[in-house]
Structure 1
Amino acid sequence: MIETVQRFFESRPESVGQAREFVSMVLTGWGCTERTDDIRLCLSELATNALVHGTVADHGFLVRLNAEDGVVRLEVHDSRRQRPEPRQTVDTDLSGRGLVLVAALADGWGVQDRAPLGKIVWSCFKGA
């Protein structure tokens, strides 16, 4: 059985916390509790990146969750085509570790173009 839900969030800092709560609620409703912490952390990083780097002024971001055959796919849709890339950081850097964390916690992640504009940054979690 395939289940998909999505929600749009405004372009403001408190939206990241609201998106985390949305993801927790959905995963609990689906009975997917094994990897909730990993999924929430990845959502936080991807949503923060969407706000800081991926949204055109006054455009928010969309969070979509899909569950199929024991795999949860998390997507964050934003309005810019610029593709994110993991950065090499040093201990004194205050930011720049988001995609490194996503790569470490998720079973896969990637970026795809979104029509008519923007991109989708996704991550997937087996056994969620």
Structure 2
Amino acid sequence: MPWSSRRYFDAEPESVGHARDFVAVTLTAWGLRSVVEDVRLCVSELASNAVVHGTRDDHGFLVRLDTHDEDFVRLEVHDSRDVQDSLRRVRVRHSAETDTAGRGLRIVDLVADSWGVEARRPLGKILWARFRAFPDSPEQLVGHVAELPPDASIGTEVAVAPRLLDGREQPSRARRALQ
């Protein structure tokens, strides 16, 4: 069944975290936990780029998720920068180890099954990424195991890892690509 959801965010650094939360909640509600970690990582990179490089004054960015392609989730981040200027600059960089920026699209390239950029009218562009998704099922996923640090208290963020039936953690493509 095809699903689609979108949300507008202000062009502020805090919005990147809100975009990560939006995709995690949406994909979990759709029963697609298998891609949550990968899509969260990619939306973080693309939303960060939109905030820093892709928005005009008084414009934010839009995050859209859909499952119209069978077996795939499509993530889109829409920005508002002038089309010709911004399309020219979209490319994967090969940063040096000492560089503090410039790895975002490299990460998207490693984690997503495919990605690209399209012009958006009247202004801006759409950076998109596709991820092969497998629906949650009792055969695939028993539940989520939260690993709490010893000094955990209320409000502590926890790592939630999907577990296979035999108890092994199901690694995400993001974790495998960045190891």
The normalised TM-score by structure 1 is: 0.97
* 2:127 match: secondary structure: strand
Matched, 1:78 2:79: yes
Which blocks of at least 5 consecutive residues in structure 2 are unaligned?
135-179
- Aligned partner of 1:114 in structure 2 is 120
Moved more, 10-19 or 83-92: 83-92
- Aligned partner of 2:43 in structure 1 is 43
Residues paired across the two proteins, number = 128
In structure 1, how many angstroms separate the alpha carbons of the residues matched to 2:101 and 2:54? 16
* 1:35 match: secondary structure: helix
Deviation at 1:99, TM superposition (A): 0.1
* 1:85 match: secondary structure: coil
Query: Residue type matched to 2:75 in 1?
Result: L
Deviation at 1:88, TM superposition (A): 1.8
**1:51-71 deviation digits (Å, cap 9, x = unpaired):** 111001221000000013221
Moved more, 64-73 or 47-56: 64-73
* 1:95 match: secondary structure: coil
* 1:44 match: secondary structure: helix
The normalised TM-score by structure 2 is: 0.70
4+ residue segments displaced more than 2 Å: none
| Higher strand fraction (1 or 2) | 1
Query: Residue type matched to 2:43 in 1?
Result: L
**1:10-60 deviation digits (Å, cap 9, x = unpaired):** 011100000100000100000001121111000000000001110012210
Query: Residue type matched to 1:118 in 2?
Result: G
1:18-97 map, 5 Å: 18-68=18-68, 69-80=70-81, 81=83, 82-83=86-87, 84-97=90-103
Question: Percent of counterpart pairs with the same letter?
Answer: 53
Moved more, 80-89 or 99-108: 80-89
Decide which structure has the larger Cα Rg and report it.
Answer: 2
Deviation at 1:102, TM superposition (A): 0.1
Per chain length, whose mean CA-contact separation is higher, i.e. which structure has more relative contact order (CA < 8 Å, sep 6+)?
Answer: 1
In structure 2, how many angstroms separate the alpha carbons of the residues matched to 1:119 and 1:45? 15
Deviation at 1:127, TM superposition (A): 2.3
* 2:123 match: secondary structure: coil
